[in-house]
A and B are shown apart, each in its own frame.
Chain A
Amino acid sequence: MTEKEEFVEELSGLLEDNATELKKQWVKEMTEMGLLEKLSSLEIEQQSTAIYDTCVLTIKTGMYEAAKKYAREMAKKGVLEAMTVDQIIMGMLKLRDVYGRFIFYKYQKDVEKLYKVLGVYEPVANRILSIVALAFVEEREMKITDQQQAMLTLSTPVLQIRDQILVLPLIGTIDSARAAQIVEQLLNSIVDTQASVVIIDITGVPIIDTAVANHLIKTIQAAKMLGADTIITGISPANAQTLVTLGVDLSMMTTRGSLRSGVKLADEMLKLVVMEKR
Chain B
Amino acid sequence: MRNVAVIIRKQLKDTLKNKTVLIQFIMFPVMTLIMENAISVPDMPELFFTKLFSVMYMGMAPLTSVASIISEEKEKNTLRVLMMANVKPWEYLAGVGIYVWMLCMAGAGIMATGLPASVIPFYLGVMAVGIAISVAMGACIGVFSPNQMVATSLFMPVMMVFSFAPMLAMFNDKIEKVAGIFYTQQLKILINQMSFDGIKPSAVLTVAVNAALALLLFFAAFRKKGLE
**A, B: real partners:** no
Interface residues of B (CB under 8 A from A): none
Interface residues of A (CB under 8 A from B): none
